[in-house]
């Protein structure tokens, strides 16, 4: 596996832990978008794209956020017994959409993305800086040329 392109979109006023979003292209053939770069005391790390989990109301079938006490559609009280938990018993609120299967692949992605993030910070100091992330969606256009 070769990461052939990384595009980074810095988050303005990154006072929170979210520092940037990025997309990676693998082998000029597969794109993973909405990877997050998160700040931590140990340095930036990569969080793979995920979606918020939901559950269906037992009364009307409406899709509600997991922590909903009442259905957003019919108002019926939601049960709490079926909520998904991880191995340590913590509530799972998100599920990965795409993720590396082994530690070597995770390290490959992590190191390349963090390196590109640091390079983007340097480029962002230039007076006429424009993020390459804003050109997302032009992959097909470039391939057709």
CA distance 69 to 36: 29
Q: Global pTM?
A: 0.73
- Using alpha carbons only, give the angle 49, 50, 56 rounded to the nearest 5 degrees: 160
- How, if at all, do strands 45-47 and 18-26 pair? unpaired
Contact 3, 112 (CB under 8 A): yes
Mean predicted confidence (pLDDT) in 6-25: 89
> Domain range for residue 74?
51-93
Residue carrying structure tokens 């108002």 = 75
Together in a domain, 3 and 59 = no
Together in a domain, 75 and 87 = yes
Together in a domain, 39 and 55 = no
How many domains is the chain built from? 2
Together in a domain, 140 and 110 = yes
User: Per-residue confidence at 96, pLDDT binned at 50, 70, 90?
Assistant: confident
More confident residue, 47 or 54: 47
Together in a domain, 79 and 117 = no
Q: pLDDT per residue over 29-43, tens digit each?
A: 999 999 999 999 999
């Amino acid at each position: 596996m070769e990461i052939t392109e990384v595009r980074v979109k810095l988050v303005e006023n990154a006072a929170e832990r979210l520092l940037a979003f990025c997309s990676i292209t693998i082998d000029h053939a597969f794109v993973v978008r909405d990877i997050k770069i998160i700040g931590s005391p140990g340095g930036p790390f990569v969080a793979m794209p995920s979606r918020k989990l939901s559950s269906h109301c037992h009364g009307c079938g409406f899709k509600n956020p997991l922590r909903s006490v009442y259905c957003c559609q019919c108002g019926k009280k939601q049960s709490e017994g079926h909520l998904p938990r991880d191995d340590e018993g913590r509530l799972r609120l998100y599920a990965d959409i795409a993720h590396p299967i082994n530690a070597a692949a995770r390290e490959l992605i992590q190191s390349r993305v963090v390196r590109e993030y640091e390079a983007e910070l340097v480029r962002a100091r230039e007076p006429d800086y424009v993020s390459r992330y804003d050109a997302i969606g032009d992959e097909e256009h470039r391939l057709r040329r």
